[in-house]
Amino acid sequence: MEDKIYDVVIIGAGPAGLTAGIYGARAGLDIVIIEKFAPGGQVVNSYEIENYPGFTEPIAGWDLMAKMEEQTRRLGVPIESGEVTSMEKINDLFHVNTIDKKYFSRAAIIASGAQNRKLKVAGEEEFLGRGVSYCATCDGAFYKDKVTVVVGGGDVALEEAFFLTKFASKVYIIHRRDKFRGTDILQKRVFGSDKISILYNSVVKEICGKEKVASVRIENIATGQESVIPTDGLFIFVGYDPVNSFVPPQLLNKNGEIKVNMDMQTEIPGLFAAGDVRSNSRRQIVMAAADGATALLAAHEYINNIACK
């Protein structure tokens, strides 16, 4: 057990957590970032980012996040591996517990992000890694000259469907409504690709195969008609759910996101949330980074105020 008391413990090393770290280091605070996987968050799975300011050409997601991590480490911020299992505030001190370590801090920032939402259909778990994927950047190259199916109608589904056309001979997009939610520029790219076919008003009922995915059974919900699409790979991009298993339930809204005010402060003084895990997040990298900066500045002010008491 460690009895060091940090100024701020930051949970998560995506854009929000890393930016909080950068601001914390520059403010001269004693901070630590705890990360469950590798630093970078969901962005590392994006093939290309073209809306993060400062980069005149698109930059690969992993590249952008490697730069953010390097910048954070260069400023002296430790990034430790660990999965936070619970946290509580006792007498003005946050106790943050990971599987094998306990951290103490005056303030804490939850920047744990979000994880891929599941379709919850038969075959999804069974064929994970054997044709079912949540990351085209990671797995797309396995589908050279093969038929793939993408599920979803948001920015991620459209971006990743277009990315898959680099490899696949054919990409079907299955979307439950008759209109995409994704931005115009991405829609235009998808509509302009002769490798992409769109099936609107359609949902996946079952993922079928023996050793690996062989087909998906879909239903047109407007007509009730079912059909089977032979495919080698199913890519699921139907949104994200916040990573909140360790967060005190009273802090969450009905979507499981952490309720915050404009300073990213939760209803527990000294506890902040930033990025995709917080309520009303727009889920943009630049906004997650801004959240991280806002949360850290507010945490700094909070620490100064309790020190003055």
Residues in the site for ligand NAP, rule: CB under 6 A? Answer: 51, 119, 151-157, 159, 176-177, 181, 203, 237-240, 283-284
Q: Which is nearer to ligand NAP, 51 or 261 (CB)?
A: 51
Q: Write the CA distances from 77 to 26, 80, 270, 305, integer angstroms.
A: 10, 10, 20, 23
CB of 218 to ligand NAP, least distance (A): 11
Residue closer to ligand NAP by CB (options 144, 177) is: 177
Beta carbon of residue 152, minimum distance to ligand NAP (angstroms, whole number)? 4
Least distance to ligand NAP, CB of residue 43, Å = 9
- Comparing CB distances to ligand NAP, the nearer of 45 and 98 is 45
User: Cβ neighbours of residue 256 under 8 Å, at least 6 residues apart?
Assistant: 241, 242, 244
* Residue 181 beta carbon to ligand NAP: minimum distance, rounded to whole angstroms: 4
- What are the backbone dihedrals phi and psi of residue 24, each rounded to the nearest 5 degrees, phi first? -65, -45
Task: Give the residue nearest to ligand NAP (CB).
Answer: 154
Q: Cβ atoms within 10 A of the Cβ of 157, count?
A: 26
- Residue tagged active-site, from 7, 92, 100, 139: 139
CB of 27 to ligand NAP, least distance (A): 29
**Closest of 104, 106, 94 to residue 301, by C-alpha:** 106
Q: Tell me which residue of 274, 253, 270, 250 sits closest to 262, measured CA to CA.
A: 274
Of 143 and 235, the one with the shorter C-beta distance to ligand NAP is 235
**CB of 210 vs ligand NAP, minimal distance in Å:** 25
**Which lies closer to ligand NAP via its Cβ, residue 240 or residue 302?**
240
Given 30, 63, 135, 208, which residue is catalytic? 135
| Packing angle of the helix pair 61-74, 15-26 (nearest 10 deg) | 20
DSSP tag of 61? H
Is 208 assigned a catalytic role? no
Is 308 among the residues known to form the active site? no
Active-site entry in 92, 138, 178, 263: 138
Nearer to ligand NAP, 52 or 142 (CB): 52
Q: Which of 50, 8, 34, 20 is nearest to 243 (CA)?
A: 34
Beta-carbon contacts of 20 under 8 Å, excluding residues fewer than 6 positions away, are 8, 10, 31, 33, 109, 111, 274, 292, 293, 295, 296, 299
The CB density around residue 179, as the number of other CB atoms within 10 Å, is 9
Tokens linked to 303: 């620490």
Give me the active site residues, please.
Answer: 135, 138-139
